[in-house]
Copies of this chain bind each other. A is one copy, B any other.
Amino acid sequence: MSEISIYRGNIVFSETEKKLAEYRDSYIVVEDGIVEGIYERVPDRYAGVPVADFGSDVIIPAFSDLHTHAPQYPQRGLKTDALLKEWLDKYTFPLEGRFSDPAFAEAAYDAFVDDLVANGTFHVVTFGTIHEQATGMLIEKLEKKGIYAYVGKVNMDENSPAYLCERTEESLLSTERFLEKYCGSRRAKPILTPRFAPTCSKKLLFGLGKLAKKYDVGTQTHLVESRWEAEEAKRLFPDCGCDTEIYEKAGLFESGLFVGAHFIFPSEEDIRLLSMCGGYAVQCPDATVNVIAGIMPTASLSARGIKIGLGSDVAAGQDVRVYSQVAKSVQLSKIKSFYEPENQVVTFAQAFFMATKQGGSLFGKTGSLAPGYAFDALVIGGLSDPFMPLSPVETVERFCCKGGPNNIRARFLGGKKIG
């Protein structure tokens, strides 16, 4: 016997990159956690199934955050006027150092995971720290909440502060233990996480490449994050023509899951390689402004077939809310088109697509409410003025522009109500 649930309300999700589907006063039927269909009336075959009515509220897909740093969560919304080097050396690296203390990690990761749930992020790709134990706690907490996640124990063995700099062999051994322990997880899975080329030796990266093959595990890293990083990567890896090639050469493309955060100044070769491996580039609007390195050319990369998701990039970004990054992605595209007029403005529909259907595709059939997709969904409301009711799509736009967790009236993960 399958389990059927029926919800009535307005429904909005991305049909394609450019088009939002909008169903008014409709019924969404969920069978064993999967969307079965959307109907104007309850089909006869479901007569007798109780209907939960969300009135004028809007049912949307839950959000996917493709790049964040869970351990930096305690630092969100602080030191936002610092520039990158000061921000890392004085604040962020010392904070990451504190995750050698399991009690601190426990408290910080509990707060982080609760905030994800409150804000409807049910799929996340996140960095941990170099600390195997603390990062294990993070993966276990996410798994327990049922969040779909890729979580990385960070690798860094060069150009890093002493308290975060690993010995190469130990970094690889620790990573293998981490993979062994968690590769069988159901929802929160491990991912290889070389911090970025400037902090990783060639030996470390090739060692990780062997682990990628042995455990069939993907990779996340910061990719072409700034002009400095792109140049430094080429200087440190002179036999690679671009940042992305470093990871390809190391064997880190082979599982097919590759997540490159930022990707702001990609060369033609970066674009070709990322596209070839089917990897994701991640725009992190707030972060990219706060540690200002430039603005990703989202519209043109997307037109060239690069899959782009959105990331909160806490704590360079100040908030776990992926939906606020939707609004800010549109804003950044306007700034970019002002300064570099060959860049097109991203529409709200395109930005919402990045945060849901596109980002969700990294995790399987989620991020949409079309039949066959997991019912990972949020019910949003409390956004209209009584004297000027909003359409369902307008409700979603205002939510992304200025909503908060109080506007999320219900949360469903795999069809089950949570939060």
Point out the residues of chain B lying under 8 angstroms from A107, CB to CB. Answer: 385-387
- Contact partner of A330 among B81, B104, B334, B401, CB < 8 A? B81
Per-residue interface assignment for chain A, residues 80 to 120, with 1 indicating a CB less than 8 Å from any chain B CB and 0 otherwise: 11010000000000000000000010011001000000000
Complex CA distance for A81 and B385, rounded to whole angstroms: 21
Cβ A318 vs Cβ B81 within 8 A: no
Complex CA distance for A331 and B318, rounded to whole angstroms: 11
Q: How far is the CB of A106 from chain B (nearest CB, A)?
A: 9
Q: Does A76 contact B (CB under 8 A)?
A: yes
Per-residue interface assignment for chain A, residues 393 to 415, with 1 indicating a CB less than 8 Å from any chain B CB and 0 otherwise: 01001101110101000000000
Q: How far is the CB of A403 from chain B (nearest CB, A)?
A: 8
Cβ B318 vs Cβ A402 within 8 A: yes
Point out the residues of chain B lying under 8 angstroms from A78, CB to CB. Answer: 390, 394, 397-398, 401
Complex CA distance for A400 and B79, rounded to whole angstroms: 12
Q: Does A1 contact B (CB under 8 A)?
A: no
Q: Does A74 contact B (CB under 8 A)?
A: yes
Complex CA distance for A90 and B290, rounded to whole angstroms: 34
Cβ B108 vs Cβ A385 within 8 A: yes
Q: Does A339 contact B (CB under 8 A)?
A: yes
Point out the residues of chain B lying under 8 angstroms from A80, CB to CB. Answer: 327, 330-331, 348, 397, 401
Q: Does A51 contact B (CB under 8 A)?
A: no
Point out the residues of chain B lying under 8 angstroms from A292, CB to CB. Answer: 334-335, 337-338
**Residues 332-354 of A at the B interface (beta carbon under 8 Å):** 334-335, 337-339, 345-348
Q: Which of A77, A289, A293 has the most CB of B within 10 A?
A: A77
Q: Does A57 contact B (CB under 8 A)?
A: no
Cβ B346 vs Cβ A74 within 8 A: no
Complex CA distance for A111 and B387, rounded to whole angstroms: 10
Complex CA distance for A286 and B387, rounded to whole angstroms: 25
Complex CA distance for A319 and B387, rounded to whole angstroms: 18
Per-residue interface assignment for chain A, residues 129 to 155, with 1 indicating a CB less than 8 Å from any chain B CB and 0 otherwise: 000000000000000000000000000
Point out the residues of chain B lying under 8 angstroms from A387, CB to CB. Answer: 74, 104, 107-108, 111
Complex CA distance for A386 and B335, rounded to whole angstroms: 38
Point out the residues of chain B lying under 8 angstroms from A303, CB to CB. Answer: none
Q: Which residues of A contact B (CB under 8 A)?
A: 74, 76-81, 83, 104, 107-108, 111, 286, 289-290, 292-295, 318-319, 327, 330-331, 334-335, 337-339, 345-348, 385-388, 390, 394, 397-398, 400-402, 404, 406
List, sorted by A's number, 26 A–B pairs whose CB atoms are closer than 8 Å.
Answer: A76-B398, A76-B401, A76-B402, A77-B400, A77-B401, A78-B401, A79-B397, A80-B327, A80-B331, A80-B348, A80-B397, A81-B330, A81-B345, A81-B347, A108-B387, A108-B388, A286-B331, A289-B334, A289-B335, A290-B334, A292-B334, A292-B335, A318-B327, A319-B401, A335-B335, A404-B404
Q: Beyond the given A78-B390, A108-B388, please list 10 additional residue pairs across the A-B interface where CB-CB is below 8 A.
A: A76-B402, A77-B400, A77-B401, A80-B331, A104-B387, A289-B331, A292-B337, A294-B338, A318-B402, A404-B404
